[in-house]
Amino acid sequence: MPPIAQYVFNGIVTGGILALPAVAFSLLWRLLRFPNFAVSTYLTVGAYAALVLNADAHAPLEVAWLGALGATGVVALVADRVAFRPMRARRPFSLAIASIGVAFVLENVVRFVWGNDFRAYDLPVTRAASVAGLRVGREQLMILGVVVVLMALAQAFLLRTRLGIAMRATADNPLLAAVKGVPTDRVIAVATFGGGALAGAAGVFLGLDASIDPLMGGGIIISVFAAAILGGIGSAPGAFAGAMIVGIVEEAGTLLVPPTYKTAIGFAIILAVLLVRPSGLAGSRA
């Protein structure tokens, strides 16, 4: 049996993949005031977009990955225009239901076109390196590196750019921000595209780390929620830390419970946070 350190390492990789949709989900929730259940399905969209570019059009995976980012961002924008924008003034829960409908449509469009089979990217097979007794895949290191860069970029965007600051202002108080001249619609469009792109990027990583099938995104929805809630809704660093914890606990947890119960571990984390510290680790106002 591999040492515990191996589980922790795998958990860090899983956590890195979870971090991207968790940040997107958390920030969009704070900005638009509803939990968008379609975010995890955006992973599926990204994974298949890259599959088309990589396996069908024979583009290198790096190029396919960039294409997946753009394609998923556009899909998220279209979903927002068609479903969410006309409902902005409605009760937030109505939007949550509509987002479930959107997720359902997207997942089944993928199923309609590509079927239920498991797919994989067209990649040269590489041997996992052995570092200090740990099996470390080349893709795993690449995923971690890219995730760290993307997280740093997202945080820099939120803290340093005019648009990022406008986004946080709108999340805090949309009316005041609008009165002060923040172009609310543009802010929302940028956040929606960015959130979709982050989730799409994670979808390709998930496809690399596990496999590609229509349920892949929906299958991690509870883990994504657990990460966002653990981190405190609206906090990007919180969601990142939450994702790392959820990833590690889920992987290491398979030492104690059967792997089929991974989802249950995420669910247990959600319940524990709600019971013990409902505002999450970052403790931002929920």
Partner 1 sequence: MIAYLTAIVTLVGVRALLTLGLNVQWGLTGLVNLGVVAFFAVGAYTSALLAVGGVSLLLAWPAGVVLAAAAGAGLSVVALRLREDYLAIVTLGFAEVLRLFLLNEAWLTRGANGITAIPRPLHERFGDHYQLFYLVLVLLAVALVYAALERVRRSPFGRVLRAIREDEVVAAVAGKPVFRFKVQAFALGAGVAGLAGVLFAHYLEYVEPNMFLPQESLFVWLALILGGSGNNRGALLGSLVLLGLLEGSRFVKDMIPFLTGVRLAAAQQILVGVVLVVMMVRRPEGLLPEKPGSE
Shortest separation between residue 170's beta carbon and partner 1, angstroms? 19
Which of 168, 278, 163 shows the shortest CA–CA distance to 230? 278
Q: Which is nearer to partner 1, 164 or 195 (CB)?
A: 195
Q: According to CB under 8 A, which one of 90, 138, 180, 186 is a site residue for partner 1?
A: 90
Shortest separation between residue 235's beta carbon and partner 1, angstroms? 15
DSSP 96-131: HHHHHHHHHHHHHHHHHHH-S--B-------PPEEE
Whether 50 and 203 have beta carbons less than 8 Å apart is answered as yes
Q: According to CB under 8 A, which one of 75, 270, 281, 282 is a site residue for partner 1?
A: 270
Cα torsion for 267, 91, 215, 147, to the nearest 10°? -70
If binding is defined by CB under 8 A, does position 263 make contact with partner 1? yes
If binding is defined by CB under 8 A, does position 86 make contact with partner 1? yes
Window 191 to 250, contacts with partner 1 (CB under 8 A): 218, 221-222, 225, 229
If binding is defined by CB under 8 A, does position 157 make contact with partner 1? no
Strand partners, 119: 212
If binding is defined by CB under 8 A, does position 119 make contact with partner 1? no
Could you tell me how many residues of this chain bind partner 1 (CB under 8 A)?
Answer: 47
Which of 181, 147, 152 shows the shortest CA–CA distance to 166? 181
Residue 161 has phi, psi (to 5 degrees) of -95, 155
Which of 32, 141, 136 shows the shortest CA–CA distance to 89? 32
CA distance 61 to 139: 11
Q: Which residues bind partner 1 (CB under 8 A)?
A: 29, 34-35, 37, 82-83, 86-87, 90-94, 96-98, 100-105, 108-109, 111-112, 115-116, 218, 221-222, 225, 229, 258, 260-261, 263-264, 266-267, 270-271, 274-275, 278-279, 286
